[in-house]
C-alpha cells in the first residue's frame, strides 16, 4: 500500500503543471499519478484522484475569483469611476467564483475517473 496523501499531492502537482495546456486531461493524468502512488485498488485510487482534483480545484477557485475581480474592477472603473470599479470588481468576483466551481466539479469528476482507472491498472 502506498501513501494516499503523497499520491494526492503528486497528482495535484501533475494537474497544475499540465493544466495550462490540457485542462481536462490534466485532471485525468493527475488522478492516474495519484492512484499510481497511492496503490491499493480502484477505491483507493479514486479517493486519491478525488483529493488531487480537490486540491487543484481550490487553487483554480482562488485564481478565478482574483482574476474576475481584477477584470471587473478594471472594466467598471473605466466606465463609472470608483463606485463602478467596486461594483464591477464585486460582480467579477461572483462570476469568477461561479464559473470556477462549475469547472472544479467537472475537474474533480475527471480526476476520480483517472484515479479509478489508475487504481485498476496499478493494483
- Higher pLDDT among residues 42 and 21, named by residue: 42
pLDDT, tens digit, for every residue of 69-100?
888 888 877 667 777 788 888 888 888 889 88
Q: How far, in Å, are 54, 71, 85 from residue 97 at the CA level?
A: 15, 13, 18
pLDDT of residue 74: 82
Residue among 97, 76, 86, 18 at smallest CA distance from 52: 18
Q: How many alpha carbons lie under 13 Å from residue 2 in its C-beta half-sphere?
A: 23
Q: How many alpha carbons lie under 13 Å from residue 3 in its C-beta half-sphere?
A: 6
On whether the CB atoms of residues 115 and 35 are closer than 8 A, the answer is: yes
pLDDT, tens digit, for every residue of 9-36?
999 999 888 887 887 888 899 999 999 9
Q: How buried is 94 (Cβ within 10 angstroms: 0-12 exposed, 13-18 middle, 19+ buried)?
A: middle
How far apart are alpha carbons 95 and 68 in whole angstroms? 7
Amino acid at each position: 500500500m502506498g501513501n494516499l496523501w503523497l499520491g494526492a499531492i503528486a497528482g495535484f502537482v501533475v494537474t497544475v503543471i499540465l493544466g495550462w495546456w490540457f485542462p481536462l486531461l490534466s485532471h485525468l493524468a493527475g488522478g492516474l499519478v495519484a492512484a499510481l502512488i497511492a496503490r491499493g485498488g480502484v477505491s483507493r485510487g479514486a479517493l486519491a484522484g478525488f483529493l488531487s482534483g480537490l486540491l487543484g480545484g481550490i487553487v483554480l477557485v482562488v485564481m478565478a475569483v482574483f482574476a474576475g475581480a481584477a477584470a471587473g474592477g478594471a472594466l467598471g472603473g473605466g466606465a463609472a469611476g470608483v463606485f463602478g470599479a467596486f461594483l464591477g470588481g464585486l460582480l467579477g468576483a461572483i462570476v469568477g467564483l461561479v464559473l470556477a466551481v462549475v469547472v472544479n466539479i467537472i475537474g474533480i469528476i475527471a480526476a476520480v475517473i483517472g484515479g479509478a482507472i489508475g487504481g485498476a491498472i496499478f493494483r
